[in-house]
């Protein structure tokens, strides 16, 4: 059993040939064409989390229809949950999140498999979202 840290996470991402950087908030970030994925381990190392911010921007007027689309994903899938967030300027964005409690430790294989699954889920959601936004009549192209 291991207690993962950002150095171990960096090693996992290197093995997966995924480039990453550490941001000023202590997260390990990966950048993709249409989204950014941030991995965190809380201060005590009890919770491992991945949060993805998608490069799609909406108005408050779009929020009700957008929530309907996201509710469909949340109802039909497990693991990766998605929601809207509103920036201070009123811009609505889409965020996905996954967490795993690791207080008692995990195996190296479990940690690597979870990281891989979260990377794949973020990409799968992006593809699904592109299709669903078009069907819902919402802006379908990333900004």
pLDDT cut 90: percent of the chain above it: 73
Higher-scoring residue by pLDDT: 143, 73:
73
Record the pTM: 0.89
Q: Tell me the pLDDT tens digit for each residue of 12-39.
A: 999 999 999 998 887 899 999 999 999 9
Average pLDDT, the chain: 91
Q: What is the mean pLDDT of the segment spanning 62-70?
A: 93
Distance CA 121, CA 124 (A): 5
Q: What is the mean pLDDT of the segment spanning 90-108?
A: 92
Q: Which pLDDT band holds residue 68 (cuts at 50, 70, 90)?
A: very high
Q: Counting runs of H as helices and runs of E as strands, what totals does the chain give?
A: 3, 6
Contact yes or no for 79/61 (Cβ under 8 A):
no
- Predicted confidence at residue 127, as pLDDT, reads 92
Q: Tell me the pLDDT tens digit for each residue of 70-96.
A: 999 999 988 899 999 999 999 999 999
CATH of span 6-136: 3.30.1460.10
């Amino acid at each position: 059993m291991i207690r993962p840290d950002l150095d171990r996470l960096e090693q996992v991402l290197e093995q997966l040939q995924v480039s990453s950087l550490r941001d000023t908030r202590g997260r390990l970030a990966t950048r993709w064409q249409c989204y950014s994925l941030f991995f965190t381990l809380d201060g005590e190392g009890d919770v491992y989390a991945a949060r993805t911010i998608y490069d799609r921007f909406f108005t408050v007027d779009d929020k009700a229809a957008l929530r309907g689309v996201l509710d469909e994903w949340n109802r039909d899938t497990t693991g990766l949950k998605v929601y809207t967030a509103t920036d201070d300027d009123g811009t609505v964005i889409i965020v996905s999140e996954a967490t795993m409690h690791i207080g008692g430790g995990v195996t190296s294989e479990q940690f690597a498999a979870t990281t891989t699954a979260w990377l794949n889920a973020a990409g799968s959601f992006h593809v699904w979202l592109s299709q669903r936004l078009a069907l819902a009549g919402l802006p379908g192209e990333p900004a």
